Amino acid sequence: MKNSLLLKALHCQNDSRPPVWLMRQAGRYMPQYRAIRAKHSFLEMCHTPELAAAVTRLPIQVFGFDAAILFSDILVIPEALGVGLHFDEGRGPIIERPLQTAQDIDALPEPCIEEALGFVGEAIRLLREDLTVPLIGFCGAPFTLASYMIEGGSSRDLKKTKKWLLNDPESFHRLLDKLAHCALKYMHLQAKAGVQAFQIFDSWAHVLGHAQFREFVQPYLKKMVDGFRSTGIPVILFCRGSSVFAPDLAELQSAAISIDWNGDIRQIRASLPATVALQGNLDPDILYAPEKMLKSEVRRMLRAMKGEPGYIFNLGHGIFPDVSVDAVHNLVETIKSA
């Protein structure tokens, strides 16, 4: 896949139109996904290689995206650490035994990631047999994984997490280090199975102040990026707040940074080294707009990044479940016809 637009852009060598893929591109907005989901639980889909591979292929078959992202979930690492995980239809992910004390951190097992998450490697191998576009692997970043394990699920303000890191930073760092260790092993598992690019999700890093980001996020992302560099597989860093934290993320020398929709991507481009590719940053809500407005916004972004050899079109966050299929078709067609 040497001629892949995605891989060229990740190496800042693309002289064609920007590649396009979307975070959560295989999801509930697709009727084909809902048909599979009606027969299987979410975790069953993640744990069954044949189902995960089939769902990963869906948006490539329907929309013709320039890359596939593995169907899985960032919380498979906490699941492997034995804290218990299930998904509630109304509440999202639930950690059944959330961490409450420093002793809980020290009691976490040291799982064999290759065994505990071997189903992910098998899904990747199945996909590489017939996938005609690059496959992106992914995992959650330590701070985001820690927040789920402490909060017991999703939280708007991460109050328990922030109280912990403020009152007992030493044990919080132990947790982050343990999670970074597991995540790096998981990254290498996916590399060995055949992913061609990798994205690290730090979905909740935006709740932190700058000093906290530098202390509790950046060092652990660095550990993962540096520890994965020997594979030669390009890494994309994504976090909400990336329009603010982009200079800090650029210090880590990943292949690319995925930018949220709160910043002007052209200004961010001008402020960062040319060797770092940028991904993003369409507001996900634009997909609810009338067709004319949607196409206008897409073209505006394409004009802003025209001629950039390291640019990947994406949303500033994941696609929402109630977006129309027509909107996604219009987005992809507008980019491909530019």
Note if 168 is an active site residue: no
What is the rounded distance in angstroms from the CA atom of residue 241 to the CA atom of residue 268? 13
Q: Following CA atoms 99, 102, 103, 104 in sequence, which dihedral angle do they give, to the nearest 10 degrees?
A: 10
Q: Which of 28, 128, 174, 266 is catalytic?
A: 28
Beta 85-88 vs 311-315: how paired, if at all?
Answer: unpaired
- Helices (DSSP H) in the chain: which residue ranges? 5-10, 31-37, 42-47, 49-63, 76-80, 102-106, 113-116, 118-130, 142-151, 159-167, 169-193, 210-216, 218-228, 242-250, 265-271, 291-304, 325-336
Q: Report in angstroms the alpha-carbon separations of 23 from 38, 52, 123, 182.
A: 22, 16, 19, 23
* Element containing residue 86 per DSSP (H, E): strand 85-88
Q: Which of 29, 33, 148, 311 is catalytic?
A: 148
Q: 151, 255, 130: which is closest to 200 by C-alpha?
A: 255
Note if 29 is an active site residue: no
Collapse the DSSP code of 98 into the 3-class scheme (helix H, G, I; strand E, B; otherwise coil) and give the result.
coil
What Rg value do the Cα atoms of the chain yield, rounded?
19
Note if 299 is an active site residue: no
Note if 130 is an active site residue: no
**91 HSE (CA, 13 A, CB side):** 13
Q: Which of 37, 128, 174, 299 is catalytic?
A: 37
Position 324, amino acid: S
Q: Which of 66, 73, 248, 260 is catalytic?
A: 73
Note if 28 is an active site residue: yes
Q: Per the omega criterion (within 30 degrees of 0), is the bond before 281 cis? A: yes
| Catalytically annotated residues | 24, 28, 37, 73, 148
